[in-house]
């Protein structure tokens, strides 16, 4: 098996990781990424198979668990209740209860409110050059999730700051300063959410926190700690991915001078799926092997942590013709941007709704929108998103 080296913080890689993915794919379905010391794959069939294979999972095997350093205990105390990091039966229980509150009907009902919010944010945009990511791409999803949860939207700046600090724990180049920032954000976030959970227990409202409190299955309810972690997860995971998707998507549409017809009601679903396929917000997800497994002829020993390269899988030429080309009219095929199997992202329908609603409104309201500076990706791998998106309107 080929061993490849590539620093995930190398500036050239941060701006364009796709040449490395292609080089890795040419080596076969799996390779050893030396910088991580992990078996990795960007093969679409292998990624899809591992996502759905119950012999792999997110929960760290008992024999691989290391003691949590004292300074990180507050962060991992929250993670201990995250359905993202658990396997059945705890995962099944948590996800079932969350889905009883986070229903497709509740999400679909947000569409008019999302549309109005888009118009309000566009109305507030300045003349001349401005950062669309900061003034629109970040504001939209954080306000939507705040309203959905039932917390004050004027807390948006705090929620953004806490979320950014917490997801820093999963970025390459993590150090003690980033860990301390994540712990401080976790403690602030938990204190804030605990006050709202306590308030909603006493005074129910028509919001997701209340719905999560009331969700019940076979006599089971979410504990307060589980509620807090779930709310934090919904905001961190949902908002972080949507911000990057909006930024990457607008960049892609502007660079390719995409015709307005691609944003019409009959075409917008395909355009959004192509944006998510071509330049997704999350590039790596990992799985642990719970027993000795063979995938596509490659033996994977029990206890191995495997890296699934979502962005590479989305450009597999065995699935998509000319995969590096942005083609919003191409037939929709399942991509790996939101995962698959039992851990498929619960926020995917909301993210898709926000993109399908926001992009047509944005380009209808700002038909002369153009790039004012070359977009630059941030050093946030395993995520892949812009630092800013400087634009101007003619």
Q: How much is the pTM? A: 0.94
Residue 239 has pLDDT above 80, yes or no: no
According to DSSP, residue 285 is labeled E
Edge-first strand listing for the sheet containing 130-131: 130-131, 390-393, 369-371
Question: In which band, very low, low, confident or very high, does the pLDDT at 189 lie, cut at 50, 70 and 90?
Answer: very high
Which tokens hold the place of 106?
């509740």
Of the spans 77-91, 144-158, 226-240, which averages the highest pLDDT?
77-91
Edge-first strand listing for the sheet containing 3-4: 3-4, 31-33, 38-41, 305-309, 284-289, 56-57
Which tokens hold the place of 386?
């812009």
Question: In which band, very low, low, confident or very high, does the pLDDT at 216 lie, cut at 50, 70 and 90?
Answer: confident
pLDDT at 275: 98
Question: In which band, very low, low, confident or very high, does the pLDDT at 321 lie, cut at 50, 70 and 90?
Answer: very high
CA 314 to chain centre: 15
pLDDT-wise least confident of 152-156, 188-192, 355-359, 365-369? 152-156
pLDDT at 234: 86
Question: In which band, very low, low, confident or very high, does the pLDDT at 15 lie, cut at 50, 70 and 90?
Answer: very high
- Per-residue pLDDT, averaged over 100-117, amounts to 93
Question: In which band, very low, low, confident or very high, does the pLDDT at 350 lie, cut at 50, 70 and 90?
Answer: very high
DSSP 314-381: TT-TTTSSSTTS--TTSPP---STT--GGG--TTHHHHHHHHHHHHHHHHHH-TTEEESS--EE-S-T
- Per-residue pLDDT, averaged over 338-357, amounts to 95
- Per-residue pLDDT, averaged over 57-73, amounts to 95
Pick the CATH number of 3-393 from 2.60.60.20, 3.30.200.20, 3.90.320.10, 1.10.630.10: 1.10.630.10
Choice between 52 and 101, residue whose per-residue pLDDT is larger: 52
d(CA 313, CA 74): 35
Which tokens hold the place of 131?
């950062």
According to DSSP, residue 282 is labeled B
Ordered by start, the domain boundaries in the chain are 3-393
Helix-then-strand count for the chain, H and E: 16, 13
Which one, of 45, 35, 3, 51, lies nearest residue 287 by Cα? 51
């Amino acid at each position: 098996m080929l061993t490849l080296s590539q620093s995930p913080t190398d500036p050239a890689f941060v701006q364009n990781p796709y040449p490395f993915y292609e080089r890795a794919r040419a080596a076969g379905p799996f390779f050893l990424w030396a910088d991580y010391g992990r078996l990795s794959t960007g093969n679409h069939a292998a990624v899809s198979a591992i996502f759905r294979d119950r012999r792999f999972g997110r929960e760290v095997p008992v024999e691989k668990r290391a003691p949590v350093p004292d300074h990180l205990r507050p962060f991992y105390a929250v993670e201990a209740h995250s359905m993202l990091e658990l396997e059945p039966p705890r995962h099944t229980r948590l996800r079932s209860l969350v889905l009883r509150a986070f229903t497709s009907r509740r999400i679909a009902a947000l569409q008019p409110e999302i549309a109005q919010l888009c118009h309000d944010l566009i109305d507030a945009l300045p003349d001349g050059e401005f950062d669309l990511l900061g003034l629109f791409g970040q504001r939209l999803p954080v306000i939507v999730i705040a309203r959905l949860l039932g917390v004050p939207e004027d807390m948006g700046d705090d929620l953004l700051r806490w979320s950014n600090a917490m997801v820093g724990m999963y970025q390459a180049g993590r150090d003690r300063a980033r860990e301390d920032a994540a712990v401080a954000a976790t403690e602030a976030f938990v204190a804030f959410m605990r006050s709202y959970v306590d308030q909603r227990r006493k005074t129910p409202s028509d919001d997701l926190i209340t719905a999560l409190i009331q969700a019940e299955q076979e006599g089971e309810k979410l504990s307060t700690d589980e509620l807090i972690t779930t709310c934090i997860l919904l905001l961190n995971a949902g908002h972080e991915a949507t911000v990057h998707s909006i930024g990457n998507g607008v960049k892609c549409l502007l660079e390719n001078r995409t015709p307005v017809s691609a944003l019409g009601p009959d075409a917008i679903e395909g355009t959004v799926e192509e944006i998510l396929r071509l330049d997704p917000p999350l590039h790596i997800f990992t799985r642990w092997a719970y027993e000795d497994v063979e995938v596509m002829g490659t033996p994977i020993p029990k206890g191995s942590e495997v890296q699934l390269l979502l962005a590479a899988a989305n450009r597999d030429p065995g699935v998509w013709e000319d995969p590096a080309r942005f083609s919003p009219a191409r037939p929709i095929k399942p991509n790996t941007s939101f995962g698959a199997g039992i851990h498929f992202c619960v926020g995917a329908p909301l993210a898709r709704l926000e993109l399908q609603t926001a992009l047509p409104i944005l380009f209808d309201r700002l038909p002369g929108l153009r790039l004012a500076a070359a977009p630059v990706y941030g050093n946030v791998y395993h995520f892949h998103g812009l630092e800013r998106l400087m634009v101007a309107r003619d």
